[in-house]
Structure 1
Amino acid sequence: MTDKRKKSTQAEFTKWFGPLLNALRELGGSGRPKEVVEEIAKAEKIKDSQREEVVKSGILRFDNQVAWARQYLVWEGLLDNSQKGVWTLSSKGQETFLTQDDARTIFLKWVEIHQKAKKHKSSKDKIVQTQEQEEPEELDNEITPTLLEVLQSVSPIGFEHVCKRLLREHGFENVHVTQASHDGGIDGYGTLELNPFVSMKVLFQCKRYKGTVSRAQIGDFRNAMIGRADKGIILTTGTFSEDAKREASRDGAPPIELIDGKKLVKLFEKAELGVKPKIVYEVDYNFFETYMKK
């Protein structure tokens, strides 16, 4: 990659600072990451091809850039950082409208703060070095790339069985993996009890790869499950195309839940299946900013 290309990508995510604030205002002041990403994509008319582009670790580039934009806005005090899984405007953020020049100023400000902090850190400390990164790493979950690599390295049959275990950990009963007979693209089935009176049969398909699941693959799976189950689930270590997402929730068709690599990791973490929890404290640079000026 040329130096010119590196310079153009290093701070590319700053262009989402303003749209992110606007999206949260449109959502009423708060929203879950997926809702915010969808709102920005709609408002900015982001093409499907851009939504589906991935970085080296396999996560979606656009989603990743929005996550980094959110982190800088938290440091700047424009977003609250109080509740995990929900992005919320602060009172300051509610009244702030950012131009691209404003976003660039915020970016450079926090790069300088990080660089000053880096000079005083020990060799064991870690700090975000955004200015030196060609592509920012995913923020929400440091374990994501490592766990995805492990899941992508197991055998296809092994992946089906570990998904079976995951479904059991999340409340499914009578979960079975079908025999290796290419049963119409169905890899397994189980039952989910919604309450003491209602339960549903669910069919699932497992795709262990780094690629993108297409709309046609969603359609093939739906055709295989029609008349056999109430709901379908596709679990993959990769991603889903935007057309695939639309097809999965198409009106009048049996619904299919899509579990991509990022969500798959979160499900493993929630069940503490194959991962060990650890406590990590992140420095609140916004808190210390006033003391740096004295």
Structure 2
Amino acid sequence: MTRKSNAEFVKWFGPLLDALRDLGDSGRPREVSDRIAKNLNLTDEVLDETLKSGDSRFHNQVAWARQYLVWEGMLKSSKHGTWTLTEKGRTAHISDAQAAEIFKKWVAIHAENRKQKAAEQGEATEEEAPTPDTPQADQKMSLIAILRSLSPLGFEKVSQELLRESGFENVEITGGSADGGIDGFGTLEINPFVSFKVLFQCKRYADGNLVGRSQVGDFRNAMIGRAEKGIIITTSSFTNAAVVEANREGAPKVELVDGAKLVEMFQRVELGVKKRTVYDVDLSYFERFRD
């Protein structure tokens, strides 16, 4: 990837701030991305483009835009997944030229930081900031690769264990070709008085092979009369049309778990992964003390 293509995410700086203002100064990552897509009337072609990991390129770029705005002091650095504007961010309106300057500024800061670290360790380093398509020490792709390497039945079984660890009871795999598109079912208890049956479908897909609208519709049809809720779990992602279909008004809602969310679920219950703590220097904190 060239540096030019890696820096494409700077175009989302201004739209990201606008989206957060529309949402009341804060929002969950997907809410923010969806609002940007709505505000700019982005096409399915843009929204369905994926990275090698199978993640949405658009959502990935918006996440990187958010990171640069955190460094710039326009967004808070939340530990709980909510993106929130700071006072500086609430009043900021960023032009394309200003976005480019912010990007260059933090490229230089990170390059200098790595130079100093390399000098201390006696190692060579590249003068380039982290970029969306070359994440540093990212374990997500390796976990997705492992899940994709499992057999179809193996992926269903590990999904079964994940659902059990996530609070589902009586989780069973249906198996066989006569399952009507249903790979398994379980019961989710909301409280001692309320519980409901959930059906799930597992799609062990490779890069770029997205779950489409028709597959969501077929799964919902298979649910009718059998369960109140349905979940589609994939190692890939979903087309924008599939997301719209899953949330269509007047139809049973289908929960969609893509590769990124799947990794988060494994990490949350620490299933098949080992937790470790790594501390990185928060450069944005020290930036205000440079003057």
Q: Same fold (TM over 0.5)?
A: yes
Q: Which runs of 5+ in 2 are unaligned?
A: none
Deviating more after overlay: 111-120 vs 99-108: 111-120
Count of residues in Structure 1 that have an aligned counterpart in Structure 2: 287
Match of 1:280 in 2: 278
Alignment RMSD (CA, Å): 2.2
For residue 219 of structure 1, report the CA deviation from its aligned partner. Answer: 1.2
2:230 counterpart letter in structure 1: G
Q: Confirm or deny: 8 A CA contact 1:80 1:87 kept in the other structure.
A: yes
Partner of 1:247: 245
Is the contact made by 1:59 and 1:138 (CA closer than 8 Å) also made in structure 2?
Answer: no
Structure 1 counterpart of 2:230: 232
Structure 2: distance between partners of 1:290 and 1:34: 30
Residues 1:214 and 2:209 aligned together? no
CA contact (8 A) 1:114 1:127 kept: no
Check whether the contact 1:191–1:202 (CA below 8 A) recurs between aligned residues: yes
Closer, same or farther in 2 for the Cα pair 1:51/1:127, shift >3 Å? farther
Q: Secondary structure at the match of 1:73?
A: helix
The residue type equivalent to 1:224 in the other structure is A
Are 1:200 and 2:193 counterparts? no
The residue identity in structure 2 corresponding to 1:280 is V
Task: Name the stretch that deviates more: 25-34 or 78-87.
Answer: 78-87
Superposed CA deviations along residues 238-259 of structure 1, whole A, max 9, x for unmatched, are 1011111111111221221111
- 2:31 aligned to which of 29, 35, 43: 35
Distance of aligned partners of 1:286 and 1:42 in 2 relative to their CA distance in 1, 3 Å threshold: same
CA distance in 2, matches of 1:277, 1:56: 25
Unaligned runs of 5+ in 1: none
Alignment of 1:92-131 (within 5 A): 92-122=88-118, 123=121
Q: Deviations over 1:243-288 (max 9, x none)?
A: 1111111122122111111101101110100001111212211122
Taking the TM superposition and a 5 Å limit, the aligned residue runs for 1:120-199 are 120-122=116-118, 123=121, 133=131, 135-137=132-134, 142-199=138-195
SS in 2 for 1:240: coil
Q: Which residue of 1 aligns with 2:267?
A: 269
> 1:130, CA displacement in angstroms?
5.0
Shift in Å, 1:138: 5.5
TM-score (normalizing by structure 2):
0.92
Deviation at 1:11, TM superposition (A): 1.2
Question: Are the aligned partners of 1:68 and 1:136 in contact in 2 as well (CA < 8 Å)?
Answer: no
2:177 match: secondary structure: coil
What is the TM-score with the length of structure 1 in the denominator? 0.92
One-letter amino acid matched to 1:236:
T
Q: How does 1:20-31 map to 2 (within 5 A)?
A: 20-31=16-27
User: What letter matches 2:191 in structure 1?
Assistant: N
**Contact 2:115–2:125, Cα closer than 8 Å, also in 1:** no
Name the CA distance, whole Å, in 1 between partners of 2:277 and 2:97: 36
Residues 153-189 of structure 1, C-alpha deviations (whole Å, 9 max, x = no match): 1110000000000000111111100132331111001
Distance of 1:103 and 1:279 partners within structure 2 = 32
Equivalent residue for 1:13? 9
Check whether the contact 1:20–1:40 (CA below 8 A) recurs between aligned residues: yes
- CA pair 288-113 structure 1, distance change in 2 beyond 3 A: same
Contact 1:10 1:130 in 2 (8 A): no
Counterpart CA distance in 1 for 2:123 and 2:256 is 37
Deviation at 1:136, TM superposition (A): 3.0
1:58 aligns with 2:54: yes
Q: How much does 1:200 deviate?
A: 0.5
Fraction of identical pairs, as percent = 54
